[in-house]
Structure 1
Amino acid sequence: MIGRNDIHTAARLFDAARLTLAREFRGFTKQELAERIGKTPSAVSQFESGRARPDGQTVGRLMLALGQPASFFAKPPDAPPASVIPLDFCHFRSLRSATQRSRRMLLAKGSLLCRLLAFLDQKVNLPEEQVTELATTCRDIESIEILAMTVRRKWGLGLGPIGNMVNLLERHGVVVVPIDEDCHEVDAFSLWNGKRPCVFLVMEKGSPSRTRMDAAHELGHLVMHVDVAAGSPDLEKQATHFGSAFLMPRDAFYHEAPRRLNWDHIWELKRRWKTSAAAIVRRAYDLGLFSEATYRRAFVHLSQMGFRTGEPHEPPPERPVAVKKALEVIAQRWPLTRIADELGMNAADLYNLVEFTDPAELPIEHDPPLRAGEGDGPLFEGLGTPSETEKQ
């Protein structure tokens, strides 16, 4: 392992892609970084392209400017390649208004989280991934409806409301990671980190019903678009329809949905199905229960009441817990400070990435590991023990 302050070894093993990752993680342009380290933007470009390599003194300046240890910038011989997740590798929701800088910053955070997830997958028995076996191509609305019901049936959900959509994904091997609440331009995105499906969600938008729909939307991408290049508006429409069909299955919701614009009924359905009134109106329209005129009138009302940005009767927030529990399992041997050293990261950044905001919650050296059977029930079956690799 390279020392955290070993600038000379870091210069010798310098990895250009890791500099780009560190810069975009901080949200700096090349010009801004150049000013901070006393170099030209051209020099930074050469460092990031691999055409030139910084000396030890420059690595030291990069450490101070980017808040990362020297080991972050070095690639040991046996280390995996480091790079920012490409934009076209992810299925994004609500990205059109996002600035280029915020996109790159968000993907850099996702890249660092994927490094942590790869580490945890080696150390802990995370729930087995159960998405690949359901993957299929849907070419029309009817096939999407059928797929949504197939997933519900395979996962033993029946036809009723889903209690906790976020933890449902976690139980079936999808790692759910919160996105900073200040990333207003993005609701969610999903990707495959090796063989592990990952969903990134904005959690603090005051609308748990919307978060649930975002989670179901991203599940749609994972089961329908695994081999399809991201970015198409048609793919987003397909994922949105899947999310709606998954949360409000046609065979059950059709009989409960209103045939006219009755807001008392709609709010009652929201409390039962834990989906937004806007989603309920859209589902009723898609099922042919509302005319286009009724559909438009409903959204005019929602806008006039200020409900397009925040609705009443919201369900309780749903928080991902699998990553935190996995860290608790290995806390005695692998506290976050040691994991940060292993990954060559700033420990404070790692704390923020896994959303430990209360220092009292941080796994420290003397924390006992979670025993098998502890935790929140079925989600953690198989997660209460270290992996075979970690036992060795």
Structure 2
Amino acid sequence: MLGPSPGERLRTLRELLGLTGAALSDMCGMSKSWISQVETKAREASEEGLRAVAESTGTPMSFFYARPSSIPLDSLHFRKLASASRTVTKRVQAFYSESYRITEDLLRDAKYPAPPLPYATSDDLAMDDIEELAAQTREALRIAPDKPIPNLTRAMERSGIAVAPIVLTDPAGEEQSGTQHHFGLSHWGGIGDVALVAYFPGAQGDRDRFTLAHELGHLVLHTFRPHAKDPEAEANSFAAALLVPKSRATVDITDRLSLTGYARLKATWGVSIQALIMRGHAIGNINESRKRSLFVQLTQRGWRKEEPVTVGHEYPLLLWTMLERGYGSKPYLSAAEELAIHPTVLRSIAPTPASKSAARQVMQPEKQADVLEFRRSSKRPDGALDVAVR
């Protein structure tokens, strides 16, 4: 098998850092034409030129000789808005591909178990099939069949599914604009292979939880069904079924439930009011007229943009734990050279946890008590419930 082309890796680095050819030329001192010709393989990449690029961007030289990601980009499950910038999307794809490569190296070196996920193979999936697969996924992740999921991130990581936040920054170190149009990406090679779910952290913890459940749905529903007719709708249905099992949704979500009641359900399940309304409609407990009425009420109260219950954020630990074990408590620079990656990628997908001792909990599930904390917010004039998920 032929090794990677330095030109291909140069293009990947540009996309990874969000740089145009002109911008990279200004940084490293190599001409724009040299960069273009190396990327298109019209000329050989000189060691001197690559080193100039490496030093100016803070990239280890090993990056240019690393094998590319093992996943084809067209196999990625990608949740984004239609308005997402094509340039940012290309950067996101490069970021995810490199993240997956690093995840493979870290988890396989640590002999971390592969996820025992169920999977769909039938071309035609009914809603009942999706409900059943969601129930099987709860069992595979060792989650109670009919209880709220205290920490979905931790349940996924303990079952072998790596979870990585993606934060793209501009040259000044500020978060890049445009990423708000992207939500998550995922890939699983199948039985015995590595799975990685990446997401863009948002302002609301319930949105992030739904994104993780949605991407988990892609792994279960579409790894062996890559040409499903409407994969996004299926993944949304799976996410709702995973987060709020039908046995409980049928009882809790009725056509008489008020928005205040939905707010209390949100505090219980860590799922947005809007998603709960859609869940009630999907299982037949709410008709179309009632659904429309509830959404009108949400708009009138201003809750379509800002709902009244706060769901705390979940924080991944698995990839950080692997880095810390291999490279110490300050792993980014030392790991970057050996893993052949820009340190920015490592800092994004494996952020340092607020508590170093917390990182060890991901490998010691029997000592971790996941809980939902409920409290009334003293900062909210309406006295709405806050819920912190940790």
Q: State the TM-score, normalized to the length of structure 2.
A: 0.79
CA deviations 1:277-318 (Å, max 9, x no partner) are 001110111122222122122222223333233322222221
Aligned equivalents of 2:42 and 2:103: distance in 1?
31
Give the aligned partner of residue 237 of structure 1.
233
Aligned partner of 1:68 in structure 2 is 59
CA distance, structure 2, for counterparts of residue 14 and residue 290 of structure 1: 56
Query: Letter of the aligned partner of 1:197 in structure 2?
Result: A
Change (3 A) 1:153 1:39: closer
CA distance in structure 1 between the partners assigned to 2:336 and 2:74 by the alignment: 28
State whether structure 2 residue 172 is matched by structure 1 residue 175.
no
Tell whether the 8 Å contact from 1:20 to 1:83 is kept in structure 2 after alignment.
no
Give the corresponding residue for 2:210. Answer: 213
Q: Is the 8 A contact 1:206 1:310 kept in 2?
A: no
Tell me: CA distance 1:233–1:28, structure 2 relative to 1, closer, same or farther (3 Å). farther
Alpha-carbon contact 1:171-1:378 (below 8 Å) kept: no
For 1:83 and 1:128, the matched residues in 2 are separated by 18
Is 1:254 equivalent to 2:250 in the alignment? yes
SS of the residue aligned with 1:187? strand
Distance 2:16 2:165 in 1: 16
Q: Does 1:112 align with 2:119?
A: no
2:366 aligned residue (367, 377, 381): 377
CA contact (8 A) 1:199 1:218 kept: yes
Q: 1:26 to 1:348 in 2, by over 3 A?
A: closer
Aligned counterparts of 1:142 and 1:179: Cα–Cα separation in 2: 33
How far apart are residue 220 of structure 1 and its match?
0.8
Contact 2:59 2:343 in 1 (8 A): no
Note the C-alpha offset of 1:164.
Answer: 1.1
User: Secondary structure of 1:293's partner?
Assistant: helix
Cα displacement string for residues 244-300 of structure 1 (whole angstroms, at most 9, x for unaligned residues):
111111122101112225112111111111110001110111122222122122222
1:43, CA displacement in angstroms?
3.8
The 4+ residue runs of structure 1 with deviation greater than 6 A are: none
| Structure 2: unaligned runs, 5 residues or longer | 169-174, 370-390
In structure 1, what is the equivalent of residue 74 of structure 2? 88
Distance in 1 (alpha carbons) for counterparts of 2:132 and 2:84: 33
Match for residue 42 of structure 2? 51
Give 2:213's aligned amino acid.
Answer: A
Partner residue in 2 for 1:303: 299
1:140 aligns with 2:126: yes
Q: 1:189 to 1:196 in 2, by over 3 A?
A: same
SS of equivalent to 1:264? helix
Secondary structure of 2:114's aligned partner: coil
**What secondary structure sits across from 1:200 in the alignment?**
strand
Shift of 1:86: 5.0
1:189–1:344 CA distance, 2 compared to 1 (3 A): closer
2:372 maps to which residue?
A: none
Name the structure 2 match of 1:384.
Answer: none
Deviation of 1:222 after TM superposition, in Å, equals 0.3
| AA in 2 matched with 1:200 | A
Retained in 2: the 8 A contact 1:258–1:265?
A: no
Which region of structure 1 is more displaced relative to structure 2, 18-27 or 321-330? 321-330
Tell me what 1:24 maps to.
15
| 2:142 equivalent to 1:151 | no
Rounded to whole Å, the distance in 1 between the matches of 2:364 and 2:353 is 20
Give the Cα separation in 2 of the matches to 1:158 and 1:357.
30
CA 379–261 in structure 1, closer or farther in 2 if over 3 Å, else same: closer
Q: CA contact under 8 A between 1:98 and 1:186: conserved in structure 2?
A: yes
Q: How many residues align?
A: 353
* Aligned equivalents of 2:109, 2:87: Cα separation in 1: 34
Q: Considering only aligned residues, what root-mean-square deviation do their CA atoms show, in Å?
A: 3.2
Q: Secondary structure at the match of 1:184?
A: helix
Q: Any residues of structure 2 matched to 1:269-348 within 5 Å, and which? A: 269-332=265-328, 335-347=331-343
Q: Are the equivalent residues in 1 in contact too, given 2:120–2:224 (CA < 8 A)?
A: no
Could you say if the C-alpha distance between residues 119 and 379 of structure 1 is closer, same or farther in structure 2, counting changes exceeding 3 Å?
Answer: farther
Cα deviation for residue 90 of structure 1 reads 1.1
Greater displacement, 133-142 / 46-55? 133-142
Does the 8 Å contact 2:69/2:101 carry over to 1?
A: no
What amino acid does structure 1 have at the position aligned with 2:147?
A: G
Alignment identity in percent? 28
Equivalent residue, structure 2, for 1:126: 112
Report the more deviating stretch, 194-203 or 250-259: 194-203
Asked whether the 8 Å contact 1:174–1:196 carries over to 2, the reply is: yes
Partner of 1:98: 84
The answer for unaligned runs of 5 or more in structure 1 is 1-12, 363-368, 381-392
> What residue identity is the alignment partner of 2:94?
A
The aligned residue for residue 8 of structure 1 is none
- For structure 1, which segment, 254-263 or 81-90, has the greater mean C-alpha deviation from structure 2 after superposition? 81-90
Partner of 1:386: none
Deviation at 1:342, TM superposition (A): 0.9
